[in-house]
Chain A
Amino acid sequence: MHIVDILQQWSDTNAFFIWLRESPSVWAYPMVFFAHTLGLAFTAGASVVIDARLLGAAGFVPVAPLARYFRAIWIGVWLTVVSGLVMLGSDPQTKLTNHLFPLKMLFVVAAIALTAALRGRVASAGVESNVPPVLRALAAMSLLCWLGAVAAGKFMAYF
């Protein structure tokens, strides 16, 4: 049996996912979807602003203290990932067989890895305004990956 079928069968018989799919309550599926939307909005938005600063925009903002925001960004990442996994669990077949899903996961995994890589490097960036080339390259990739993740997420519903 294919892994997707096994997951679908598990989801179909799991009490939690049955409740999540069938409950008309706004506290069920809509709340999970909201957590995903809000978590990603803050995570992607704050990351993109910090990325833009690292790429040379808004030079008046000191770089190193921005590292302190990564704890909040990390909370946003967890909120988004956990709610995303719950939504995936409630409907594995539709999502796993969507042609854009692998691309979205690629963007998401890369963006999270880049967030981890940026955190320490931002903290040790120093007060001088010129950002090292490695940091700029990571920031450029991070910006593209967050934008890609958002776009892939929106386009998935149309594939």
Chain B
Amino acid sequence: MQAWWLVPFCKTLHYFGIAVLVGIVGLVDLRIFGVAKALPLRPLQRLMPWAVVSFLVSAASGYVLLRINPANSLGPPVNIAFAAKIVCLVLVGLNDVLYFSTGLKRQVDGVGAGESTSASAKIVAAVSIALWIGVVYWSRMMTFLAGAI
């Protein structure tokens, strides 16, 4: 039997980690779309290690929550919201691999103050925003769709 505060504490860490992550992704992606154009993209993208740390905080606290109550996310019955959340996270990973491996990240690093980004950078940013919104949506739906199938 764990302490009563362990679950809400882990949920706080889990949500706060996602919030900072979505905050950083939002700031970078919005700049790629032309918001706050006076910011050069190179320093902004240097915030990415922070996003990785936030992800690790969320992943670790999420793992603890999963271990405390595995049925909530893993079922049975299968929680389709949790499955969809993991699919979104895998797609986020693929999108990031694409962003770094194609040299697009380096190209965006060269976008200075007042300059616009390429169409391909905007597409990757749009996919990134859509997938993170998906992660949050399916996280929320885990409560409502538990036991749906």
**B partners with A:** yes
B84 contacts partner chain A, Cβ-Cβ < 8 Å: no
The reply to whether A41 and B39 form a contact with Cβ atoms under 8 Å apart is no
Nearest chain B residue, comparing its CB with the CB of A52 = B50
CB distance from B134 to the nearest CB of A (A): 10
A45 contacts partner chain B, Cβ-Cβ < 8 Å: yes
Interface size class of B (residues with CB under 8 A): 35 or more
The DSSP consensus for interface residues of chain A is helix
Set of chain B residues within 8 Å of A49, measured between Cβ atoms = 20, 23-24, 27, 47, 50
Nearest chain A residue, comparing its CB with the CB of B47 = A58
Mask of A24-68 contacts with B, CB within 8 angstroms, 1/0: 001000100110011011101111110000000010111011101
The reply to whether A34 and B26 form a contact with Cβ atoms under 8 Å apart is no
Set of chain A residues within 8 Å of B8, measured between Cβ atoms = 151, 154-155, 157-158
Measured between alpha carbons, how far is A58 from B113 in the docked complex, in Å?
Answer: 17
The reply to whether B12 and A150 form a contact with Cβ atoms under 8 Å apart is yes
Set of chain A residues within 8 Å of B40, measured between Cβ atoms = 62
Measured between alpha carbons, how far is A49 from B31 in the docked complex, in Å?
Answer: 15
A residues adjacent to B (C-beta < 8 A): 26, 30, 33-34, 37-38, 40-42, 44-49, 58, 60-62, 64-66, 68-69, 71-72, 147, 150-151, 154-155, 157-158
